[in-house]
Amino acid sequence: MRPGALLLATIVLALPEVAGAATPEGEWWTPGLKARVRIAACGAGLCGKVSWLLPRGILPPGEEPLPELAGRSVFVMSPDPARPGHFRGRIDNPEDGNRYEGAIVLHGKDWLEVKGCLFFICRSQLWLRHWSD
C-alpha cells in the first residue's frame, strides 16, 4: 500500500461511525475513481449496483478494462441489529468474479468502508461519496 493511501485510510477510519441521520444511500466512488456504485434501500436492507464506469480509453497504461458492468448488482446488505450503522451481507466482486461475506460501515458522511472476506482472507476498501451539484 502506498504511504499516502495508508495515511488516508488511517485518518478516515479514525472518524466516528455515523448512525441515525447519515445513510449510505446514494452514489459512491470506488477506489481509483474507476466506477460509481448507487446504494439504495431494498426491502429492509441496502443494495448496491454499478451506476457508472470509467470509459475504456481513459484507463491508465497497463490497466485492464472492467467487463461491461453498468447496472450489475455488487452487494445486498441487511442491517446488523447488534451494531447500528453497520450492514452485513454478500458482495459480488465483478473484477475477480468471487462472492464474499461482507459488511459496510459509514464513516462521517462522505466515506464508506466496504469489507469483504473469503474464508479467512479479508480486504477493505474506502469509497468516497459522489456529490452532484
Mean pLDDT (whole number) for 65-81: 78
First vs last C-alpha separation in the chain: 32
pLDDT digits (tens, 9 = 90+) for 2-58: 454 443 444 444 444 444 447 899 999 999 888 899 999 998 899 999 888 877 656
CA trace torsion 54, 56, 59, 61 (10° rounding): 170
Note whether residue 83 is domain-resident. yes
Total domains in the fold of the chain = 1
Cα–Cα distance between 62 and 73 in angstroms, integer? Answer: 26
pTM of the model as a whole: 0.74
Q: φ and ψ at 10, to 5 degrees?
A: -65, -45
- Residue 64's pLDDT band, with cuts at 50, 70 and 90, is low
Q: How confident is the model at residue 61 (pLDDT cuts 50, 70, 90)?
A: low
Mean of per-residue pLDDT scores for the chain: 79
Q: 37 lies in which domain range?
A: 24-55+69-129
Are residues 63 and 32 in contact, defined by beta-carbon separation less than 8 angstroms?
no
Q: Is residue 4 part of a domain?
A: no
Asked, for residue 1, whether it belongs to a domain, the answer is no
Residue 62 lies in a domain: no
Whether 122 maps to a domain, the answer reads yes
**How many Cβ atoms from other residues are within 10 Å of residue 59's Cβ?**
14
CATH of the domain at 48: 2.40.128.210
5 part of a folded domain = no
Quick check: is 10 in a domain?
no
